[in-house]
Chains A and B, each alone.
Chain A
Amino acid sequence: MIKELLGHLRQEAIDYMSDRLVYGNELAKHLRKLELATGRYWVFLQENISDKQIVLFRQGGIAKRSKSLQELSEFILKCLGSNIEKTVVFEDALISEKDSKVCLPPARVIFEKSKAYYLIDNAIAEGKISIIMSTVEQADSYILIGAIGRNNNFLEGFDNSILSPSSFLEDFARTAEYIIVFSFVYESFLICES
C-alpha cells in the first residue's frame, strides 16, 4: 500500500529526501532546485507500521523490498500511461561509461559525465511492469534517485535531439512531477509529489 506522510512525518521525509539528493549526480543536482518543502510525500508499506518506524528511513527491517518494488513499478507504469511525453529517469550511481561488461537494463541509456541515466517512456515500457522493475533493480545501489516528468525534447530519439544529455537532464528535472528515492535501506521507496 502507499501511505501519505503528514505532519511531522512529512517533515522527516523532506529532510531525508533533501539529504539523499545531495549525494546524487546530475539529475539530483537539478532536482534539488525544486521546492521540496511544498510537496506531498508518500511511502510504500506493506502493513500498518507505527509512525515511529516510518521515519526511520535509513534503517532496514521495516518493509518487504520485492513487494515495494512491485508497487513502485505499477505506480510508474500508471504515471507513464499513454502519454508519450511522460518519462521516468533513474540515475545509476555505480555504472561508468567504461563499464562495458556490466549489465544494463532494458531502458534507453544516456551518459552524462560518464554516469549512466536510464530513461523509460511508454514506448519502451510497452505496458510491461518487468521493464520498470528490472530498471529500478539495476539503478538501485547505495542510493536511488529517480523522477517522473515530461520529455519535451527527445520525442524523436536521441540522435535527433538538439539537446545534450546535460541539457536534457536539466530540462527534464524542471518538469518533474514525482521524485523517487529509496527508503529503509533498499526495502521501499519514498516519493515526493511536487
Chain B
Amino acid sequence: MRRRLSLLIIGLLSFMLVTLTNTLLPYLAISSATLSEHHASSAVSSALTKDVAQLPSLGNDVLDDLAWGFIANELLKAIDGGLPIVANTTDVFPTVNVLPSEPFEASSVPAENSVAELSKGNDAEAKTTSQLVAQLPRIRNQNRPEEDQPDYGGASVISEGNVPFNPITSTEYIIEQLHQSVDGTAMLIPGDYEIPVTMFCMNQSAASPPGHRYVLAPLRGSRAPVIAALNARAAGLELNYQPLQVLSWNIQAGMAYVDMPAASQSLVDQLIPDYRDQLRGSFLEEIERTYNGISSFTNLPSFNSALNQLGEAGRLIRRYQDFRDNLVRYQNDYNRLFDTLIPSGGTTSALGGSERTPWSKLDNRVYARMITQASAGGVGKLQIRVLPLRLTPAGLVSSAVQVAVSNIIADSENPDTQSIGGVTTTESESPPTNSDEASPTEETTDENDDTEVPKPSAPIPDDPTQPPGEDWEWRGNGPVGSGEGAWFNPETGESLHPDLDHPPPIGPHWDYTGKNRGKRWRIYPDGRYEPND
C-alpha cells in the first residue's frame, strides 16, 4: 500500500509539474504553519505526502480532493468485492414476453425419466428419484445467451406462446435435490414446473408492495453462496418465516456469526453449519480494516470521522452501518425490524404489476419467472419451462439441465422496492388469482365447498373481548369485542366478527370468514354453522 501511495503522489506531482508548473509553484513551498491550519481534508494530503520521503508537503485543495478520491476508490473497490448481496442489478437475465416452446421430443426421453415419474412423492419412490437424478448426465450451461436483449416493455402482452404452460406442481423431487445441492440448482428434464416459494426480503431498506413485477437475476455478492445454501436447505421444511427472515437479513448485512442473535445462530447451526466459516468475518469490519490499512502509516482521521469525506463510499458504508445497528438493536424482534426496514406506502409497479411479468431466459433451454400477488413473507410461484435438447445426428446427448432455483433473485428493478429471494415451500400461493383462472383443485378446497363444515383455527371465545387464540388481533375502529371490528388472524386470513346482538330471526352469532379470506359462515352459540352466501 505504501508503494502504491508513493507512486500515486509521484504521478500526481509529475503531472502537475509538467502541466501546471507556473500555477503550482507557489504552493510547493507551503509552510508547516499553513498545514497546521488545515482541517481533516488537508490532513490527508499532508499525511500522504509526508509518507513519501523527500516529497514536499502540499496543502493544496486539488491534491486533497485527489487524495480523498484515491481512498474513496480503494474503499469502493473493497465494497464492490465484499458486498454481501447485490439486491438490485443491471445484470438481470434477458427477458422475453412470449414463452418459447418447441415440440417436446417425447420419444427421445426415456420413459422412466419422464417428469411425471420423477415428480412422484412417496418415500419409496423418492429413493428411485434420487437414483434417477444421480444418473442424469450433468450438462451445465451457464453461458448467458447473448442474442436476446432485455425486454422491459411494460405495455407488451405477456403470453405463453404456442404451447400452454402446463406445469407439474409437485415439489418433492425438486426439494430433495435442493437439500443436496451445493449451488442452489436442481436437475430438471424438459417440461413445465411451478414451484411455490416463500418470499424473503433482499434489500436492507425498501418497501414490499404486493403484486410487484419482478425479473430474475443471478444471485450475486460475497454471501450469495450462503443465501443460496440457506434457501435451498430450508426448502420444504416449512420453518417459521420470521426467524428465517431475520437470519437472512443478518447475512445480507454482512454480520459475523458471533454477532448474530442466538436464534439466527441456531438456524445457521441447523441448516448451514458448513458455511459458518464464511460467516466468521463481518463485512463492515473488513471495510474498516481496509481503511485502517491505508491510514495506518498516516494520521488520517478515524474511520467514522472520515466517512463524510468519502462520497459514495461513505454513503454506502453508512447505510450498512444503519442496517447493522438496526439488527443489533432489535435482535429477533421481527416486527420492529419490519417496521424499520420495510417502509410503508409501497405500491404496485408502474410497469403493470405481476400480471405482466416477462419470462427470464436463464439459459438457452431454461425460461423462468417469479409471479406473485403477495408481498415479501407471502408465497409466490417460480414458473420454469425447460426446453428439450435438440436431437443431433449423433442422437440425444442429454435431456436434463441444471436449473437455478435458490441461487437466483427476483429483482424488483427499483431500489425502493424489495427484491426477493425464494425458499421452496409446499404451500400454495398466498393470494388466489381471479376466479376465471381458478384451478379445479382450488375450487374443491374446504373453504370453497359449501358442504364442508368450517374449521376455525381457534375456538370461538365465550367473551368477545378476548381473542380466540394467540395469533388473533382485534382489527376495527370500534371497541374490542364490539360489532365495529373483528378478530383477525394474519397468519391464516381468518376473521371472526361478533354479532351477538343480532335480532331474530337470525339471532346472535359470529361471522366467520375462512382461511385465505374464503367462504363466509354464521356460527351460532349452539354450534350450528350456516353459509352466508
> A residues touching B (Cβ–Cβ < 8 Å)?
23-25, 59-61, 64-66, 93-94, 96-106, 108-114, 128, 130-131, 133-134, 137-138, 141-143, 156-160, 164-165, 185-187
Query: Nearest Cβ distance between residue A101 and chain B, in whole angstroms?
Result: 6
**Are A131 and B434 in contact, CB atoms less than 8 angstroms apart?**
yes
- For the complex, give the distance between the alpha carbons of A97 and B346 in Å: 9
Subset of 18 A-B contacts with CB under 8 Å = A23-B476, A25-B477, A64-B533, A65-B532, A94-B495, A100-B374, A101-B374, A101-B378, A103-B493, A104-B373, A111-B344, A113-B344, A137-B517, A141-B513, A158-B350, A159-B414, A185-B511, A186-B532
**Are A102 and B517 in contact, CB atoms less than 8 angstroms apart?**
yes
**Is B490's beta carbon under 8 Å from chain A?**
yes
Interface centre among A100, A138, A157, A159 (most CB of B within 10 A): A100
- For the complex, give the distance between the alpha carbons of A186 and B516 in Å: 18
Interface centre among A134, A141, A142 (most CB of B within 10 A): A142
- For the complex, give the distance between the alpha carbons of A75 and B126 in Å: 52
Interface centre among A25, A61, A109, A130 (most CB of B within 10 A): A109
Q: Which residues of B contact A108 (CB under 8 A)?
A: 211, 347-348, 353
Contact status of A104 and B431, CB under 8 A, knowing A141-B486, A142-B483, A158-B348: yes
Stretch from B127-135, B251-259, B403-411, B500-508 that touches the partner: B500-508
**Are B476 and A93 in contact, CB atoms less than 8 angstroms apart?**
yes
**Are A101 and B478 in contact, CB atoms less than 8 angstroms apart?**
no
- For the complex, give the distance between the alpha carbons of A25 and B475 in Å: 12
Which residue in A23, A103, A142, A158 is a CB contact (below 8 Å) of B517? A103
Query: Nearest Cβ distance between residue A154 and chain B, in whole angstroms?
Result: 9
List CB contacts (< 8 Å) of B479-533 with chain A. Answer: 483-486, 488, 490-493, 495, 497, 499, 502-503, 505-506, 511, 513, 516-517, 520, 522, 532-533
**Are A23 and B484 in contact, CB atoms less than 8 angstroms apart?**
yes
- For the complex, give the distance between the alpha carbons of A73 and B484 in Å: 25
**Are A130 and B436 in contact, CB atoms less than 8 angstroms apart?**
yes
> B residues touching A (Cβ–Cβ < 8 Å)?
199, 208-211, 241, 335, 338, 344-353, 355, 373-379, 414, 430-436, 475-478, 483-486, 488, 490-493, 495, 497, 499, 502-503, 505-506, 511, 513, 516-517, 520, 522, 532-533
**Are B532 and A101 in contact, CB atoms less than 8 angstroms apart?**
no
**Are B211 and A104 in contact, CB atoms less than 8 angstroms apart?**
yes
**Are B208 and A130 in contact, CB atoms less than 8 angstroms apart?**
no
**Are A60 and B502 in contact, CB atoms less than 8 angstroms apart?**
yes
- For the complex, give the distance between the alpha carbons of A46 and B517 in Å: 25
**Are A110 and B436 in contact, CB atoms less than 8 angstroms apart?**
no
Which residue in B490, B493, B517 is a CB contact (below 8 Å) of A96? B490
Nearest chain B residue, comparing its CB with the CB of A154: B347
**Are B478 and A98 in contact, CB atoms less than 8 angstroms apart?**
no
Q: Which residues of A contact B347 (CB under 8 A)?
A: 108-111, 158-159, 165
Using A93-B477, A142-B495 as known contacts, list a sample of 15 further A-B pairs with CB atoms less than 8 Å apart, ordered by residue number in A.
A93-B475, A94-B488, A98-B335, A101-B241, A101-B378, A101-B430, A101-B492, A102-B490, A106-B355, A106-B373, A134-B434, A137-B517, A143-B476, A164-B345, A165-B345
- For the complex, give the distance between the alpha carbons of A18 and B432 in Å: 33
Listed from nearest, the 10 A-B pairs whose CB atoms lie closest are A100-B377, A157-B350, A158-B347, A159-B350, A103-B431, A130-B435, A99-B490, A142-B497, A102-B493, A106-B434
- For the complex, give the distance between the alpha carbons of A65 and B435 in Å: 17
Query: Nearest Cβ distance between residue A99 and chain B, in whole angstroms?
Result: 4
Secondary structure call for the B interface:
loop
Q: Which residues of B contact A159 (CB under 8 A)?
A: 347, 349-350, 414
Q: Which residues of A contact B532 (CB under 8 A)?
A: 60, 65, 186-187
- For the complex, give the distance between the alpha carbons of A114 and B355 in Å: 24
- For the complex, give the distance between the alpha carbons of A133 and B490 in Å: 22
**Are A111 and B430 in contact, CB atoms less than 8 angstroms apart?**
no
Query: Nearest Cβ distance between residue B414 and chain A, in whole angstroms?
Result: 7
Which residue in B353, B432, B484 is a CB contact (below 8 Å) of A142? B484
Q: Which residues of B contact A98 (CB under 8 A)?
A: 335, 338, 490
Nearest chain A residue, comparing its CB with the CB of B531: A65
**Are B502 and A185 in contact, CB atoms less than 8 angstroms apart?**
yes
**Are A142 and B490 in contact, CB atoms less than 8 angstroms apart?**
no
**Are A23 and B477 in contact, CB atoms less than 8 angstroms apart?**
yes
Query: Nearest Cβ distance between residue A136 and chain B, in whole angstroms?
Result: 12
Nearest chain B residue, comparing its CB with the CB of A56: B503
Interface centre among A65, A66, A104, A138 (most CB of B within 10 A): A104
**Are B486 and A94 in contact, CB atoms less than 8 angstroms apart?**
yes
Nearest chain B residue, comparing its CB with the CB of A168: B347
Q: Which residues of A contact B375 (CB under 8 A)?
A: 100
**Are B344 and A128 in contact, CB atoms less than 8 angstroms apart?**
no
- For the complex, give the distance between the alpha carbons of A158 and B154 in Å: 14
- For the complex, give the distance between the alpha carbons of A97 and B210 in Å: 9
**Are B516 and A103 in contact, CB atoms less than 8 angstroms apart?**
yes
Query: Nearest Cβ distance between residue B92 and chain A, in whole angstroms?
Result: 18
**Are A143 and B490 in contact, CB atoms less than 8 angstroms apart?**
no
Query: Nearest Cβ distance between residue A57 and chain B, in whole angstroms?
Result: 13
Q: Which residues of B contact A113 (CB under 8 A)?
A: 344
**Are A134 and B488 in contact, CB atoms less than 8 angstroms apart?**
no
**Are B348 and A59 in contact, CB atoms less than 8 angstroms apart?**
no
Query: Nearest Cβ distance between residue B350 and chain A, in whole angstroms?
Result: 3
Nearest chain B residue, comparing its CB with the CB of A67: B533
Query: Nearest Cβ distance between residue A78 and chain B, in whole angstroms?
Result: 19
Q: Which residues of A contact B345 (CB under 8 A)?
A: 111-112, 164-165
- For the complex, give the distance between the alpha carbons of A66 and B490 in Å: 26
- For the complex, give the distance between the alpha carbons of A187 and B506 in Å: 13
Which residue in A65, A105, A143 is a CB contact (below 8 Å) of B431? A105
